């Protein structure tokens, strides 16, 4: 899958499940559950034990799924993740060597940023999207809106504080996509392997994205 196709699918789906769990088995279950729920995207963070093995397994067993790597803090980690099959790279902050590696190797990248200066720096470095993290602590959807006003050309991913109550507001404020972790993949569903619960949450979030985009198209 080419970089442009990965970027288009991320923007189209509008939901990036973040898998940050305590075991590789739970990570695999979570990623496969959201895939079967109709969200063919998963970010496996490097805080997951044996994260590279999980990424490699998912990339091989689900070739039409966009498996990415999160919490990438240096170029060597980025290289290992891409070698394992990651199709996008993301970080909680702006790590320029990771962005530069992704740009050179034609891999989708969305670094974290918070201030307007960081957002602009990430975009100028070649980021495909810029992940605003943590959103909730700095004003939630109103902060996204305040960034989009002077920077409408930069696609933003809202992460941190996205839940069923706030998701619509983030999208209406201008977020291109939502990064969602435990609010989509709750701990209790993982511990009991209750896939139906994840499917129901995925359905709700997909409906929110659809409703927001319909509303925005009318404006």
| CA neighbor of 107 nearest in space, from 71, 55, 52, 67 | 67
Read off the DSSP letter of residue 176.
Answer: S
Q: Does residue 143 form part of some domain? A: yes
Instruction: State whether the Cα torsion 158-18-5-9 is positive or negative.
Output: negative
User: What is the DSSP pairing of strand 88-90 with strand 108-110?
Assistant: parallel
The structure tokens listed for 191 are 């511990």
pLDDT digits (tens, 9 = 90+) for 171-194: 999 999 999 999 999 999 999 999
Dist CA 33 CA 20 (whole Å)? 14
| CA neighbor of 155 nearest in space, from 108, 194, 200 | 108
Q: Does residue 219 form part of some domain? A: no
**Cβ(11)–Cβ(178) under 8 Å?**
no
Our CA angle for 9, 106, 176, nearest 5°, is: 35
Confidence of residue 219 (pLDDT cuts 50, 70, 90): confident
Per DSSP, the three-state class of 178 is strand
pLDDT digits (tens, 9 = 90+) for 67-78: 999 999 999 999
pLDDT digits (tens, 9 = 90+) for 49-104: 999 999 999 999 999 999 999 999 999 999 999 999 999 999 999 999 999 999 99
The position carrying tokens 């659809």 is 210
Q: Does residue 11 form part of some domain? A: yes
Number of domains forming the structure of the chain = 1
pTM: predicted TM-score of the whole model, two decimal places: 0.96
Q: Does residue 30 form part of some domain? A: yes
Domain range enclosing 46: 3-214
CATH number at residue 14: 3.20.20.70
| Dihedral angle, C-alpha 4, 5, 6, 10, nearest 10 ° | 100
């Amino acid at each position: 899958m080419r970089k442009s196709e990965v970027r288009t699918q991320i923007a189209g789906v509008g939901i990036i499940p973040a898998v940050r769990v305590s075991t590789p088995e739970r990570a695999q279950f979570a990623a496969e559950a959201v895939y079967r729920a109709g969200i063919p995207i998963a970010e496996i963070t490097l805080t997951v034990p044996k994260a590279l093995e999980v990424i490699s397994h998912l990339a091989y067993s689900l070739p039409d799924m966009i498996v990415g790597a999160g919490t990438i803090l240096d170029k060597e980690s980025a290289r290992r993740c891409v070698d394992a099959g990651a199709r996008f790279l993301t970080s909680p902050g702006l790590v320029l060597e990771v962005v530069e590696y992704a740009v050179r190797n034609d891999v989708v990248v969305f670094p974290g940023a918070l201030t307007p200066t960081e957002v602009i720096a990430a975009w100028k470095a070649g980021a495909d999207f810029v992940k605003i993290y943590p959103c909730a602590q700095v004003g939630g959807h109103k902060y996204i809106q305040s960034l989009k006003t002077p920077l409408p050309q930069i696609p933003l991913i809202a992460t941190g504080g996205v839940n069923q109550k706030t998701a619509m507001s983030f999208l209406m404020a201008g977020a291109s996509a939502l990064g969602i972790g435990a609010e989509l993949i709750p701990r209790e569903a993982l511990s009991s392997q209750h896939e139906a619960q994840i499917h129901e949450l995925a359905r709700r979030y997909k409906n929110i994205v659809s409703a927001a985009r319909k509303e925005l198209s009318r404006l």
